Amino acid sequence: MSFDHMDAVPQGQHKVLESWRKRLRGRKFITCAEIDIPAINRELAYVSVLSCEEGQFRFRLAGTGLQHVFGGEARGKTADEIEACRGGAMWAELATRAMLRAMPVSGMNKLPDGSVHYWLRLPLSSDGVEADMVLCHDRYLPPEALADPDRAAMLVDLLLRRDQGAFVPA
């Protein structure tokens, strides 16, 4: 999978990729400390960080926008411990490829329920010496995302906002 298809993905994925690219400074990966949080602040709910530990990927961070797909908090769990990640090439094989080859990997999968999973895997380093982690961006969107991924992403984002809707005073 390459970035040739990046025109057909949600704009937020472009932001994450461009933010990562700007921090490379001639390298093939960035460090955790170099993640530009302000540049990707609107996408943080869909960002996760995987570390490779004894041949398994463990979630060091997982945004709140992923909790409904993962069935709760993923931080501290291995990808194999989360049903939505089991057997998904983007969580094991392609995250490994991004890390070992120190190159970005992205793609899109249509899920059995008709929804669409847009994913991005970027090599990341804990020590600045080698890529030993993966910066992930994942958007799980309704089927209409195939026609307009940005509109679908915006509607999903509105559902995450805690300040929307009717609040009843205590």
Span 21-63, pLDDT tens digits: 999 999 999 999 999 999 999 999 999 999 999 889 999 999 9
The radius of gyration computed from the CA coordinates of the chain, to the nearest angstrom, equals 16
pLDDT > 90? residue 9? no
| Alpha-carbon distance values, 1 to 58, 146, 148, 170 (Å) | 23, 18, 21, 51
Q: What's the chain's average pLDDT?
A: 88
Span 81-102, pLDDT tens digits: 999 898 778 888 899 999 999 9
Tell me which CATH code domain 3-160 carries. 3.30.450.20
| Alpha-carbon distance values, 156 to 8, 64, 65, 66, 142 (Å) | 17, 12, 9, 11, 9
Which is more confidently placed, 96 or 3? 96
For residues 133 and 49, is the Cβ–Cβ distance under 8 A?
A: yes
Q: Which residues pair with 52 in a beta bridge?
A: 57
Q: How many angstroms separate the CA atoms of 114 and 141, rounded? A: 9
pLDDT > 50? residue 2? no
The whole-model pTM stands at 0.88
pLDDT > 50? residue 160? yes
Give the whole-number percent of the chain exceeding pLDDT 90: 69
| Alpha-carbon distance values, 23 to 12, 28, 46, 50, 124 (Å) | 17, 10, 20, 19, 11
Q: How many angstroms separate the CA atoms of 85 and 7, rounded? A: 25
Q: How confident is the model at residue 170 (pLDDT cuts 50, 70, 90)?
A: very low
Give residue 7's pLDDT.
Answer: 52
Task: Please state the domain extents for the chain.
Answer: 3-160
pLDDT > 70? residue 76? yes
Span 99-151, pLDDT tens digits: 999 999 999 999 999 999 999 999 999 999 999 999 999 999 999 888 899 98
